[in-house]
Amino acid sequence: MESRDQSNLQLKKASSCYSSIIEKKQTFSPSVIVIGGGFGGIAAARALHDASFQVVLLESRDRLGGRVCTDYSFGFPVDMGASWLHGVCEENPLAPLIGKLGLPLYRTSGDNSVLYDHDLESYALYDIDGKKVPQELVTKIGDVFESILKETDKVRQELSEDISILEAITIVLERRPDLRAEGLSHKVLQWYICRMEGWFASDADTISLKYWDQEELLSGGHGLMVRGYCPVINTLAKGLDIRLGHRVTKIMQRHNGVKVTVEDGRTFVADAAVVAVPLGVLKAKRITFEPRLPEWKETAIADLGVGTENKIALHFDKVFWPNVEFLGVVASSSYGCSYFLNLHKATGHPVLVYMPAGRLALDMEKMSDEAAANVAYMQLKTILPDACEPIQYLVSHWGTDINSLGSYSFDTGKQLAKSIPELCMVPSQLA
C-alpha cells in the first residue's frame, strides 16, 4: 500500500482547523485529547504539544502507527501497511523529515506514473500458463489503456449523473472497437485495470468516473521506504504522552470541554478533542458522539468509500525471480489478475509481497493466514515453476481489523465535492 498525496494535502488542511486555536494568546495551557495514533493523530499531537498544549494521545492498539505497521519478525523491516512516499518533494510534509533522518528511499520506476508505466525495467507479466507476456504487448496495451482512460473523460462530460469507471470503460469499448482487446491482449488489459483497483483499494465498478482522476499528485515521483516507516513514527511521537490499549467508545461534549470514555469505562476530560481515527472506524460508528455529529458531517462520512488492499509477504531463502520491481499474473478478469512487489530489488532481502485489493482482498481475509499465504505462493509457482517454498510469511487484514476497517478512502461520487472540505478531520489514508 502507498501513502497518498491526498493525505498530505488534507493534513495541511486539517492543521488549519487547529490554527485559530493555537494562535490564541491564552494565559493558561489548554488541554487536548487526540484519539488515534496513526500518522494523522501523531502529527496533530506533535503540533499541539510543540505549541504548549497539554496533550494526551489515546490509541486502541498496543502499538503506534495505525496503518503504518513495520514488522521485524523476518529479522529485517517489512512494511505491512504504508510503504511508499508519493511526492518526494518539499511540498510533502514527510519528505524533509525522512531526509533529515537519513532514511533511504528506493525510487520506483515511472516517476509520477500511477496507473500505467512504460518503463520495461519495472515489471514482468506472465500468463496463467507460465508463459511470459512479450514486453512489446505490455507496452502496446499500456498505450491502449491510456487511450481508454482519456476517452472516459468524454463520457464524463456527456453525463449529468455519475457512473463507475468500469461502466465508462464499457461504454468506450462499445464506441471504439479499435480499442477492444482479445485473447492475451484482453488479459493484459485486465491486469492494468487490476493495478488501477490496487491504487484505489477497490473494484472498478465502485470507483467514481466523475472524481477518479481528481487527485493532484505532488512532484518528485515515488519512493519506497527501505527501512520502513517505523523510524518516522517514533521520531514524531518522541516525548508525547501516549496511552496504548485505550479504545475510545464515546466522546461527549460538555459545556466546558469534552469527556472521552474508553472501552474499560475509564474517562478522560479536556478542553477539546481531535478525532484522528480511520474513516472505516467512523463509518462503522464504533465511536458514539454525544451530541451526535451534524447531519452534513455524518453524510460526508457515509458518502466517502473505504477500500481494502492487503499484503502477503513471502520470505524465501534465495532469490529465484527476475530482477524487476513487479511480477504480474494476467487473467481474463481483473479479479483473477495479481501482482507481487519485489522487495529484493529495493532492500536486498529475498521477499516478494503479494498485494490483493478490493473484493479479492476481502475474500482472502476470510481464509486462515496459512491458506492465504499458500494462495499467493501457488500464484507464484504457476508462473515460476522453480519457485521454492517460503520459509516465513506475514499476512495483513486491514479490511477486518477492528482498528482500521479498511486501508484508505476512495471516491464513490456521492457528494464527494462537498464531503472532503466539510469533513475537517485529520486524514489517515495510507497505502
- 405 occurs within a structural domain: no
- 77 within domain boundaries: yes
Co-location of 292 and 322 in the same domain: no
Give yes or no: residues 270 and 359 share one domain: no
Residue of 423, 352, 2 lying closest to 200 (CA atoms): 2
> Could you tell me which residues are annotated as the binding site for substrate?
354
Report the C-alpha gap between 23 and 431 in whole angstroms. Answer: 33
CATH code assigned at 241: 3.50.50.60
Residues 274, 33: contact at Cβ < 8 Å? yes
Query: Domain containing 259: what range?
Result: 5-81+92-101+226-304+417-422
Same domain for 15 and 59, yes or no, is yes
Q: What is the mean pLDDT of residues 264-293?
A: 97
**pLDDT-derived band of residue 106, with 50, 70 and 90 as boundaries?**
very high
Is residue 156 included in any domain, yes or no?
A: yes
Q: With a cut of 80, say whether residue 108 has pLDDT above it.
A: no
Residue 420 has pLDDT above 80, yes or no: no
Task: Please state, as a whole number, how many other Cβ atoms lie within 10 Å of the Cβ of residue 175.
Answer: 12
Q: What is the DSSP string of 324-390?
A: -SEEEE--SSGGG-EEEEEHHHHHSS-EEEE--BHHHHHHHHTS-HHHHHHHHHHHHHHH-TTPPPP
Instruction: Give, in order, the Cα–Cα distances in Å from 205 to each of 144, 193, 315, 392, 412.
Output: 20, 11, 34, 35, 10
List pLDDT tens digits, range 297-325: 999 999 999 999 999 999 999 999 999 99
Annotated binding site: 248, 354
Q: How far apart are CA 388 and CA 318, in angstroms?
A: 8
- Whether 411 is covered by a domain: the verdict is no
- Identify whether residues 196 and 324 lie together within a single domain: yes
Do the domain assignments include residue 404? no
Reported as a pLDDT band with limits 50, 70 and 90, residue 414 is: low
The alpha carbon of 328 is separated from its chain's Cα centroid by a whole number of angstroms, namely 20
Higher pLDDT, 426 or 390: 390
CA–CA separation, 15 and 3 (whole Å) = 18
Q: Cell numbers at residue 36, please?
A: 488515534
Indicate if 235 and 380 belong to the same structural domain. Answer: no
Asked if residue 14 has pLDDT above 90, the reply is no
**Does residue 327 sit in the same domain as residue 208?**
yes
List the one residue out of 143, 162, 285, 161 whose CA is nearest residue 212: 162
The DSSP secondary structure of 302-315, one letter per residue, reads HHSEEE-B--EEEE
Measured CA to CA, the distance from residue 29 to residue 253 in angstroms comes to: 19
Same domain? For 120 and 198 the reply is yes
Reported as a pLDDT band with limits 50, 70 and 90, residue 283 is very high
Per-residue pLDDT, 219: 85
pLDDT at 201 over 90: yes
Helix 358-365 and helix 369-383: axis angle, to 10°? 130
Annotated binding site for FAD: 248
138 with 212, same domain? yes
The answer to whether residue 32 scores a pLDDT higher than 70 is: yes
Amino acid at 69: C
> What pLDDT does 296 receive?
95
Residue 110 pLDDT level (bands cut at 50, 70, 90): low
Domain with 203 in it: what CATH number? 3.90.660.10
pLDDT, tens digit (0-9, with 9 covering 90-100), for 139-177: 999 999 999 999 999 999 999 999 999 999 999 999 999
Nearest to 64 by CA among 225, 228, 230: 230
Q: What CA–CA distances, in Å, run from 375 to 5, 360, 379, 386, 391?
A: 32, 11, 6, 16, 15
- pLDDT at residue 214 in the model: 82
Residue 338 has pLDDT above 60, yes or no: yes
Contact 380, 314 (CB under 8 A): yes
Least confident of 5-9, 151-155, 275-279, 306-310: 5-9
- Hey, what amino acid is at 399? G
Task: Report the pLDDT value the prediction gives residue 27, as an integer from 0 to 100.
Answer: 56
Question: Considering its fold, how many domains does the chain have in total?
Answer: 2
Instruction: State yes or no: pLDDT of 23 exceeds 90.
Output: no
Query: What percentage of the chain exceeds 90 in pLDDT?
Result: 80
SS3 at position 248: strand
- Are residue 166 and residue 315 in the same domain, yes or no? yes
Residue 429 lies inside a defined structural domain of this protein: no
